[in-house]
Amino acid sequence: MPEKKVYNIAIVSEPLYKRGGAELQLRYMLDTFSQKTLFTAYCDRGFVKKEFPQVKIKTSFMQYLPWKFKLKHFYNLLQPLAYKSFKFKGYDAILSLSIAFAKFAKGDVPHIDICMSPPKFLWQKEGRTLTDINQLSGLNRLLFKLYSLFVGTFLEEIWKKWDRKAARKTDRIIAISNVVKERVKQNYDIEADVIYPPVEVKKISSASKKFVKENWFLYLGRIETYKGVELAIKAAYDAKVPLKIGGVGNDLERMKELVKRLNAKGRIKFLGYYSDDQKPVLLAKAKALLFPVKGEDFGIVPVEANAAGSAVIAFKDGGVLETISDSNPKTGIFFDRYDYKVLSKILKDFDEKEYKADNCRKQAASFAVEIFQYKLRRYIEDILEENTCNV
C-alpha cells in the first residue's frame, strides 16, 4: 500500500501583535499540517516569540515601516501589496486565515481561505469599535478624519471591488460558521463550506471540574463597544445581581465610568486581564456566562463556558445560535430583544440548577480541537488529491 503523501502547506495570517480567537485557531492550523513557517504582513516579534515559539515568521516589507502598530489603520492601504509580494515556491497549497487582507496572497498552487468574516470596516461597519474620533489621538486622529471623507464614496467602492476580486480568486473559501457563510455569499457571491474553529474543550473541561458554582454572573472577552458590555452592566444593575467582567479593551474606561455613575462598584467588578489558567476557574464558578453580542461570527467563549459545565445567557443572534442549545439538551437561554430590561428579567429568574454540567460539556465537545483538525486536514487533502487526479 503506497504511503499517504505529506503535503507542504503555506499558512498565511493577518498581522500578528495581539492574542485572540484567530491566534488560537492559527496555532492549531500550524499543528494540523506540522508547519513551522508562517507568512504575515508584519508582526510584533516579542508577541510571536511568546505565542509561536517554534515557528519561523516570514514578514513582508511592512515589517520595516515606522510606527506600524500605531498607524495600523492607515497602513491597511499597503497590506494587499504586502500579501501579494510573498512567493510560495515548494508549497503544495496556500491556506490563509483572513478577516481582512490575508486572502490577497497568491501563487501557482491552490489557495484555500478560512474566512473569519468579510472585512467589517468595509461590509459591516455598524456597531464596530472604531466609530468615534474621540477614541483616537495624534496622527491617527488626523488620518481618521481624512478616511471619514471617503466613507460611502467611490473610493470605498473601489476597495470593496478589490476585496471581492481577491476572495473570488481563491480556489475555496471555508467559513467559520453559517452566519459567516451567508456573509460570504452576500458580499462575494461564493458558496463557502463551513468548518467551525477549534475550542480547547478537553483542556477547559478537565481544569474546571473541581469547582462549585458561586453567586455571580460573568462576562469574559474584549471590552469593546460592539461586545454589549454596557447592556450587561445595566441589566445586572437593574436586576441587583453580582457581575464580574474579565478582559480589557478600548471601551474599558467608559464602562468603569458607567459603573461609577451607577454607584455599583460593590456589585459589578472588573477583573482586568485573565490568564489561560484563570479562565476555566472563572467559567466554572459563574452562575452563567453573559454573551450580549450582536452578530458574532462564531463566539468561542460561549463554547468554553459549556466546556466548563456552565450555561450561557446570550442574545439570539449570530454564531451563538449554532453552538448553544436552549432545548434538549439545554445549555443556555437566549433573549431576543436587545434591551437591558429583558436581560435583567432573565438574570432575576435564572436558576443554574436547570442546566446540567454534563449536557453542557457534551454540547461543547462538538467543537473540540481534534474535530477541527480532522475536518481541515481531510478538506485540504481532498482538494489536493482531486487536483492531482485532474492533472
Q: What residues contact residue 238 under an 8 Å CB cut-off, 6+ apart? A: 340, 341, 344
User: What residues pair up with 289 in beta bridges, in sequence order?
Assistant: 218, 312
Give the pLDDT mean for 224-246: 96
Look at residue 1 and tell me if it is in a domain: no
- Per DSSP, helices labelled H in the chain are 21-32, 45-51, 72-75, 79-84, 120-123, 138-148, 154-169, 178-188, 201-208, 229-239, 252-261, 278-285, 300-307, 340-349, 357-364, 369-390
Do 27 and 176 share a structural domain?
yes
In a domain, 3, yes or no: no
Tell me the percentage of the chain whose pLDDT exceeds 70: 90
Q: Based on the fold, state whether residues 273 and 345 are members of the same structural domain.
A: yes
Whether 272 contacts 249, CB under 8 Å:
no
Q: Do 277 and 347 share a structural domain? A: yes
Residue holding cell 466546556?
Answer: 307
Q: Say whether pLDDT at 128 is over 70.
A: no
Any idea what the CATH number is for the domain that residue 349 is in?
Answer: 3.40.50.2000
Query: Is the bond into 2 cis (omega within 30 degrees of 0)?
Result: no
In a shared domain, residues 216 and 347: yes
What does each C-alpha distance from 359 to 87, 177, 265 come to in angstroms? 48, 22, 34
Domain tally, the chain: 2
User: Does any domain span residue 125?
Assistant: yes
**In-domain check, residue 90:** yes
pLDDT band at 1 (very low <50, low <70, confident <90, very high): very low
Q: CATH number for the domain including 87?
A: 3.40.50
At residue 356, the pLDDT reads 96
Domain co-membership, 153 together with 287:
no
Cα–Cα distances in angstroms (integers) from residue 2 to residues 5, 91, 257, 379, in the given order: 9, 21, 66, 20
Instruction: Examine the domain organization and report whether 188 and 118 are in the same domain.
Output: yes
Q: What is the mean pLDDT of residues 352-370?
A: 96
Task: Please check whether residue 122 lies inside any domain of the structure.
Answer: yes
What mean pLDDT is predicted for residues 127-148? 55
Are 61 and 191 members of one domain?
yes
97 in a domain, yes or no?
yes
For residues 380 and 94, give the distance between their C-alpha atoms in angstroms, rounded to a whole number.
10
Residues 258 and 374 placed together within one structural domain of the fold: no
CA nearest to 87, candidates 33, 10, 157: 10
Query: pTM value?
Result: 0.90
Examine residue 4 and state whether it is found in any structural domain, yes or no: no
Cell numbers describing residue 292: 450580549
> Is residue 378 pLDDT above 80, yes or no?
yes
Instruction: Give yes or no: residues 350 and 337 share one domain.
Output: yes
3-state secondary structure at position 268? strand
Q: Are residues 186 and 218 in the same domain?
A: no
Does one domain contain both 274 and 373?
Answer: no
Domain membership of residue 2 (yes or no) is no
Question: Within this chain, do residues 269 and 287 fall inside the same structural domain, yes or no?
Answer: yes
pLDDT exceeds 90 at position 323? yes
User: For residues 138 and 72, is the Cβ–Cβ distance under 8 A?
Assistant: no
User: Rounded to whole angstroms, how far apart are CA atoms 96 and 79?
Assistant: 14
pLDDT for 5:
78
State residue 126's pLDDT score.
62
Other CB atoms closer than 10 Å to residue 310's CB: what's the count?
28
- Band (pLDDT 50/70/90 cuts) for residue 148 is low
> Are residues 217 and 311 in contact, defined by beta-carbon separation less than 8 angstroms?
no
Strand partners, 59: 40
Q: Mean of the pLDDT values across residues 83-99?
A: 96
Other Cβ atoms less than 10 A from the Cβ of 1: the count is: 3
Residue 169 belongs to domain spanning: 9-198+369-390
Mean pLDDT across the stretch 270-290? Answer: 96
